[in-house]
Structure formats: structure tokens, C-alpha cells
Structure 1
Amino acid sequence: MNHDDNEPHVHSFWRRPAGMALATAALIAGFYMLREHWGHVLGYWPYLLLLACPLMHLMHGHGHGGHGRHPHPPGRTQDDKQ
């Protein structure tokens, strides 16, 4: 990657002091929000876990890795596997 020495290096928002302060405040607020509402959150964990299963299958694409789609070495068939 070629960078000109004349161009100033622009940091992303999250690397700037304002971005770091915002991220820190969000983490602290999230921590206290979770502590105050832990009873409510804990009641939803089983449903969130059940919802995660189909979402993971959708996000990973072809189900269980595409059974039978892997190429076989020449001269060997699936019936030869034991």
C-alpha cells in the first residue's frame, strides 16, 4: 500500500479522544444497565440461546459444511471408505 508523505494520516473516530471517551461511557453505562436489569436479562437467556441456533446456521451458509461436496482423490469412491 503506497501512502504519500504529504497526506496527513486520519485516525478513525474510535481512535480519537472523543471516540474513546464515548466508547468508555457506553461500556460503563452498559455495565450499570445490565446490573440493574440482570433479573430481566436472565429470564431471556434460554430464548436467546434457542434463537442463536438457527441464526448460526443461516450465517454459516451451507448448513453442516456441505456433506458430500468435498472432492475425492482419483481412483477412490465413497464406497471404498470404511
Structure 2
Amino acid sequence: MNYDHEHYHKPEKNRPWWKTPYGMAAIFFFVVAGYFLITEHGAHIGSNWIWLILLLCPLMHVFMHGGHNHTDDEEGK
């Protein structure tokens, strides 16, 4: 029997979602929607900018922690 399990420990070469064609299309539509949101609702954004900054904090926290690769087996190393 072959007990070589080396292929289980190699990292997968998956592309991030934003590098896929669907991700690029989604980013394009988000940018276009953001542009129209800012141009049409500029007066509302100008008066409530502090709340938008506070909203960015949890969003950045959620999306920027994706690359940490936390696992439970780090304790033994």
C-alpha cells in the first residue's frame, strides 16, 4: 500500500473570487452602482459621512481577514 499523503498537505491553487470572470463582473457593477449612488445622493452622503466611515470599519474587518488562514492545528507547531 502507498501511504504517501503528500498531496493532502499541498495548498490548493484556487484563485480569489475577484480574479474570476464573475468576480470581475460583480466588481464592475458595484463600481457603476457606487458611482450612481454617489452622484445621485451626494447631499445625503455629505451630511452623514461619519456614519459611512464607521460602517467601513466592520466591513474592512470582515473582508480583510480572509487571508489569515486560521486553522486549529497551529497549536502543535
The normalised TM-score by structure 2 is: 0.47
Which has a greater percent of helix?
2
The normalised TM-score by structure 1 is: 0.44
* Bigger Rg, which one: 1
